[in-house]
Amino acid sequence: MQPKLPSLRVFAEDWLKPIRLEALFDVSRPFEIDVGCGKGRFLLARAAKNPGTNFLGVDRMLRRIRKVDNKARRLGLANVRLMRMEAFYAVTHLVPADSVSTYYILFPDPWPKKRHHDHRLFNEDFLNALHRTMVAKGRLHFSTDHLPYFEEVKAILSADPRFKEIPAFEPSDDERSDFELYYIQHKKIGRCSFERA
């Protein structure tokens, strides 16, 4: 039996500077980030199917990151790393410029009440940080069951000339995220994808 990998968690050497990807991965490979990876069903399935791609899962819940870490190590997924971190901070401060080939933002918390909209991840600064950290032609896949939030994010991205809409990413059945699979099968899902121009 393959020995279990050591912890896949990432701790920045300096929390004010971008992480050194070369200390984590073979950086000649594409780098993909699952923002708010939750319990990791999507991330783990995707990483298992794409061993030549580097994956980083970011989530602010320690319990979830620990569980995904354990599962990834059991599965021997040496191409996965995990960071317990607030995603806005991670993308704006810790992800290096021009490094990300694909962002997955799947079912982010929608904060449906108007007075809570400030808590939503998508705003101008987040969009600037996504753009800064993506490689040319890098992709961003967004999905949510909260259709007003979907329309808002799609409108923000469509209005930004730095991004071009491409056909929406649809995960295969084995990649459907925990949230999609267990809780919202019965709801309509908004999906859109954009490419960095």
Q: Active-site residue numbers? A: 109
The rounded distance, in Å, linking the Cα atoms of 134 and 32 is 10
Q: How far is the CB of 28 from ligand SAM (least distance, A)?
A: 28
Q: Among residue numbers 61 through 80, which ones bind ligand SAM (CB under 6 A)?
A: 61, 64
- Binding to ligand SAM by residue 82, rule CB under 6 A? no
**φ, ψ of residue 18 in degrees (nearest 5):** -60, 145
Q: How far is the CB of 1 from ligand SAM (least distance, A)?
A: 29
Question: Among 12, 27, 121, 189, which residue sits at the site for ligand SAM (rule: CB under 6 A)?
Answer: 121
- C-beta closer to ligand SAM: residue 27 or 121: 121
- According to DSSP, the β-strands at 31-35 and 100-106 are parallel
Q: Which residues contact 14 (CB under 8 A, 6 or more apart)?
A: none
Question: Among 138, 179, 190, 192, which residue sits at the site for ligand SAM (rule: CB under 6 A)?
Answer: 179
Three-state DSSP state, 164: strand
Distances (CA, A) of 80 to 31, 51, 145, 197: 10, 9, 27, 27
Q: Contact residues for ligand SAM (CB under 6 A)?
A: 36-38, 58-61, 64, 86-88, 106-109, 121, 177-180
